[in-house]
């Protein structure tokens, strides 16, 4: 028994063309945003694909580093564990559940002020 499939090309409406942005990380092995071959491929067949580099992972713009982990760490220091097992048990559950929602709201408000 033979099964045959017919592949039909995707239909695109020319009036709905929009620019598609592909975000890539800033790893060195990846291509540059201005690479002529990549730009040509992104604009072939009536496509408009642009590549944008991901923003740097700045501590000023990282919400988790800015306040969330610091808040959990300060709660962990208040518990003052004396062994590794106490430390492991203290951090993920106790500190996270003791953190108030108001603290997280303040972290995001501070983040918005940094931007």
Q: What is the pLDDT of residues 48-77, one digit of tens each?
A: 888 777 666 666 666 666 677 777 777 777
Residues 6 or more apart whose Cβ sits within 8 Å of residue 75: 94, 95, 98, 99
Q: How far is CA 81 from CA 36, 86, 88, in A?
A: 57, 5, 9
More confident residue, 15 or 22: 22
What is the pTM for the complete model shown? 0.36
Tokens 């940094």 correspond to what residue? Answer: 114
> By the 8 A CB rule, do 59 and 66 touch?
yes
Q: Residue 104 — very low, low, confident or very high, per pLDDT cuts 50/70/90?
A: confident
């Amino acid at each position: 028994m033979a099964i045959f499939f017919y592949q039909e090309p995707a239909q695109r409406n020319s009036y709905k063309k929009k620019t598609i942005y592909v975000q890539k990380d800033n790893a060195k092995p990846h291509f540059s945003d201005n690479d002529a071959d990549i730009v040509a491929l992104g604009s072939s067949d009536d496509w408009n694909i642009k590549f944008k580099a991901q923003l740097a992972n700045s501590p000023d713009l990282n919400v988790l580093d800015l306040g969330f982990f610091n808040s959990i760490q300060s709660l962990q220091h208040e518990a003052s564990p004396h062994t590794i097992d106490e430390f492991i048990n203290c951090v993920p559950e106790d500190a996270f559940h003791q953190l108030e929602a108001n603290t997280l709201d303040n972290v995001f408000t501070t983040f918005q002020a940094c931007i």
